[in-house]
Amino acid sequence: MKILVTGGTGYIGSHTVVELQAKGYEVVIVDDLSNSSVEVLDHIAEITGKRPVFEQFDLKDALKTSAFFSKHSDLGGIIHFAAFKAVGESVEFPLKYYQNNLVSLINILQGMMENKIRNIVFSSSCTVYGQPDKLPVKEDAPVQKAWSPYGNTKQISEEIISDTSKASGIDGILLRYFNPIGAHETALIGELPLGVPNSLMPYITQTAIGIRPFLRVWGSDYDTPDGTAIRDYLHVTDLAVAHVIAVERMLNGKMKQKVEVFNLGTGNGFSVMQVIESFERSTGVKLNYQIMDRRPGDIEKVWADTEFANKELGWKAVKSLDEMTASAWKWEKVLAQKGKG
């Protein structure tokens, strides 16, 4: 069975390709390498013993996308990761985000309709919940007005898939990720942040390795036990496995609705200070940090209700926070050795 993975050389995509190939799926990656490197293909081959088929083009290009789908009309399903994801950049350049994230999705859905390809798994985000009224947050919690153009592209994409599904044979699984961190156990693939990281985990590892002088902890006056903000961090390989399960649910005709939504998190919230403590415990490395004011746009606390994903998808995140922070550190050291950290 052939599966298209868009954004398959990226962070979450590359880990998912590894899990798909481990289960015997034939993978075709489409990526324009705007935020990843072609060497990732070698590393996937090193881990799995198989090099995925790779086509490099921009999914915003309707003609190229249509030609791709005509050539690969035998696809069993699509996992669509390709998108821009930097929240701050999306505030500065909203059109860049609306154009890339929405036009690419529309071109893919068009190609699916034209070639009668039924199944799409979409990378959504817990950002659609904003600051939920009730925690842990369930899938039926109201979607709140997006704070950033990036977040808005996720909300609009979910609606585009739902509307298209109603009017066609297309089925969709929308996966709302919480905070994926960590890297593959081999440290052959991981997250490659461009420039100064925005996210907590790469900022921690870059500080520990000496690229950044100290971590700025954004806010210590939140209504949480230690005053720092709480998120639901999950290991990227657990997240990757969920995609394989989602694809199989579609292929095996197990869906109960044409569009289904699942939260992907561990169900446990950890504060910024707890992540720092885990990093220090799992690596033995002391971290420099300073408490700062809150970061504008940050929410106070969010973690997932994972019951639906556990029961209905049959998926559960298994890796601990210490495994996440230790694997992120192993990856950072590999990057440093290669002069890429």
The binding site for ligand WQD (CB under 6 A) comprises 85, 87, 125, 127, 151, 179, 198-200, 203, 215-218, 229, 231, 272, 295, 298
From 34-42, 208-216, 249-257, 269-277, give the range in contact with ligand NAD by CB under 6 A: 34-42
Helices H / strands E in the chain, number of each = 12, 13
Residue 269 in contact with residue 303, Cβ under 8 Å? yes
Q: Is residue 327 close enough to count as binding ligand NAD by CB under 6 A?
A: no
The one catalytic residue in 97, 150, 203, 233 is: 150
CB of 126 to ligand NAD, least distance (A): 7
Residue 150: which of 85, 106, 60 has the closest Cα?
85
Please select the residue that binds ligand NAD; options are 19, 31, 89, 158, rule is CB under 6 A.
Answer: 31
CA 119/CA 75 separation, integer angstroms: 9
CB of 236 to ligand WQD, least distance (A): 13
Please select the residue that binds ligand NAD; options are 55, 58, 185, 277, rule is CB under 6 A.
Answer: 58
Half-sphere exposure of 332 (CA within 13 A, CB side): 25
Tokens 């990227």 identify what position?
236
Q: 159 or 221, CB closer to ligand NAD?
A: 159
CA 131/CA 301 separation, integer angstroms: 7
CA 313/CA 59 separation, integer angstroms: 29
Task: Decide: residue 91, CB within 10 A, 0-12 exposed, 13-18 middle, 19+ buried.
Answer: middle
Q: Is residue 177 close enough to count as binding ligand NAD by CB under 6 A?
A: yes
Q: 14 or 220, CB closer to ligand NAD?
A: 14
118 binds, among ligand NAD, ligand WQD, none (CB under 5 to 8 A by kind): none
CA 92/CA 297 separation, integer angstroms: 14
Parallel, antiparallel or unpaired: strands 26-30 and 2-6: parallel
Q: 21 or 153, CB closer to ligand WQD?
A: 153
DSSP classification of residue 192: -
Q: 53 or 143, CB closer to ligand WQD?
A: 143
Q: 82 or 335, CB closer to ligand NAD?
A: 82
Q: 28 or 332, CB closer to ligand WQD?
A: 332
From 82-90, 136-144, 281-289, 320-328, give the range in contact with ligand NAD by CB under 6 A: 82-90
CB of 113 to ligand WQD, least distance (A): 27
Q: Is residue 265 close enough to count as binding ligand NAD by CB under 6 A?
A: no
Q: Is residue 234 close enough to count as binding ligand NAD by CB under 6 A?
A: no
Q: Which helix (H) or strand (E) holds 104?
A: helix 104-114
Parallel, antiparallel or unpaired: strands 230-231 and 270-271: antiparallel
CA 88/CA 297 separation, integer angstroms: 10
Measured from the Cβ of residue 268, the count of other Cβ atoms closer than 10 Å reads 19
Write out the residues near ligand NAD by the rule CB under 6 A. 7, 9-13, 30-36, 58-60, 81-85, 100, 104, 123, 125, 177, 180
Residues marked as catalytic = 150
